[in-house]
């Protein structure tokens, strides 16, 4: 009987050790916990969209009232979406330049250093007109090291890779909960970084070939 009780204690001890180990491993490698939204409110979203249509597409001021927020996005409209990132405002918005519709907008983190990207590793987000090259599952990518702080940062569930011609590894991706506070600041290595909930919204609308415009300001 004593031996039976001793074996039970040993087995329970081993089970507890295994459970604790699993929890520790999960906490180290799980990168999908940065959920929460930094979605722009409607007023700010329309304000930024109208500034884009005015300054970049030269839409007449009288016609800016036609720029509207779309409540539902039909499948046939997805191919018309253009993504616009304004670095100064730290925002990413989804618009249709053809239909003058706005589909969503979110606060994001952009490159730690301001200005146009000129070399690899300069911590700048490239400016220009690009396109979505691929939409990749990043849920098992783990972490990358921040070159300045040496902290580990998660990629989130997806990596929307951009075709930038000159620069490799530039895209739109998520983060981890320890770096959510960096959304809305200059914090990335050059990518557009956002909260994972917001990234999932982007991925639902993203299609290969869509235009991505990255501007210093509006």
DSSP states of 91-127: EEEEEETTTTEEEEEEE-BEESS-S---STTS-----
Q: How many CB atoms lie within 10 A of CB 147?
A: 10
Q: How far is CA 151 from CA 23, 35, 114, 147, 189, in A?
A: 21, 19, 21, 8, 13
Residue 88 has what pLDDT?
A: 97
89 with 29: CB under 8 angstroms? Answer: no
DSSP category for residue 181? G
What pLDDT does 76 receive?
85
Q: What is the DSSP letter of 189?
A: S
* pLDDT of 71: 80
The pLDDT assigned to 34 comes to: 64
Neighbouring residues of 200: CB distance < 8 A, sequence distance ≥ 6: 157, 158
Catalytic residue among 85, 90, 173, 189: 173
State the pTM of this model. 0.82
Residue 53 DSSP SS3: helix
The pLDDT profile of the chain, 218 residues, written as one tens digit per residue, is: 545 444 444 454 453 443 334 333 333 333 445 667 899 999 999 999 999 999 999 988 888 888 999 988 888 889 899 999 999 999 999 999 999 999 999 999 999 999 999 999 999 999 999 999 999 999 999 888 887 788 888 899 999 999 998 999 999 999 998 989 999 999 999 999 999 999 999 999 999 999 999 999 99
Instruction: Name the nearest CA neighbour of 211 among 169, 174, 164, 170.
Output: 164
Q: How far apart are CA 176 and CA 30, in angstroms?
A: 9
| Burial of 133 from C-beta contacts in 10 A (0-12 / 13-18 / 19+) | middle
CB 125 within 8 A of CB 134: no
Q: CA 180, CA 202: separation in Å to the nearest integer?
A: 17
Whether residue 85 lies in the annotated active site: no
Q: What is the pLDDT of residue 14?
A: 53
Q: How far is CA 149 from CA 14, 62, 179, in A?
A: 38, 48, 12
Q: Which one is catalytic: 85, 90, 189, 191?
A: 191
Instruction: Note if 191 is an active site residue.
Output: yes
């Amino acid at each position: 009987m004593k031996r039976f009780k001793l074996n039970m204690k040993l087995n329970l001890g081993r089970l507890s050790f295994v459970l604790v180990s699993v929890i520790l491993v999960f906490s180290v490698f799980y990168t999908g916990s940065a959920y929460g939204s930094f979605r722009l409110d409607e007023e700010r979203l329309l304000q930024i969209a109208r500034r884009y249509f005015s300054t970049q597409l030269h839409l007449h001021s009288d016609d800016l009232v036609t720029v509207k927020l779309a409540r539902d996005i039909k499948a046939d409209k997805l191919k018309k979406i253009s993504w616009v990132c304004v670095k100064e405002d730290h925002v990413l918005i989804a618009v249709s330049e053809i239909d003058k519709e706005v589909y969503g907008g979110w606060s994001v983190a952009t490159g730690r250093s301001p200005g146009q990207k000129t070399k690899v590793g300069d911590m700048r987000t490239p400016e220009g007109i690009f396109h979505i090259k691929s939409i990749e599952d990043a849920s098992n990518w783990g972490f990358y090291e921040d070159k300045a702080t040496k902290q580990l940062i998660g990629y989130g569930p997806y990596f929307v890779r951009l075709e930038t011609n000159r620069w490799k590894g530039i895209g739109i991706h998520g983060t981890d909960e320890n770096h959510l506070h960096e959304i809305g600041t200059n914090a990335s290595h050059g990518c557009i970084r956002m909260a994972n909930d917001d990234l999932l919204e982007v991925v639902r609308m993203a299609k290969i070939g869509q235009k991505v415009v990255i501007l210093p300001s509006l």
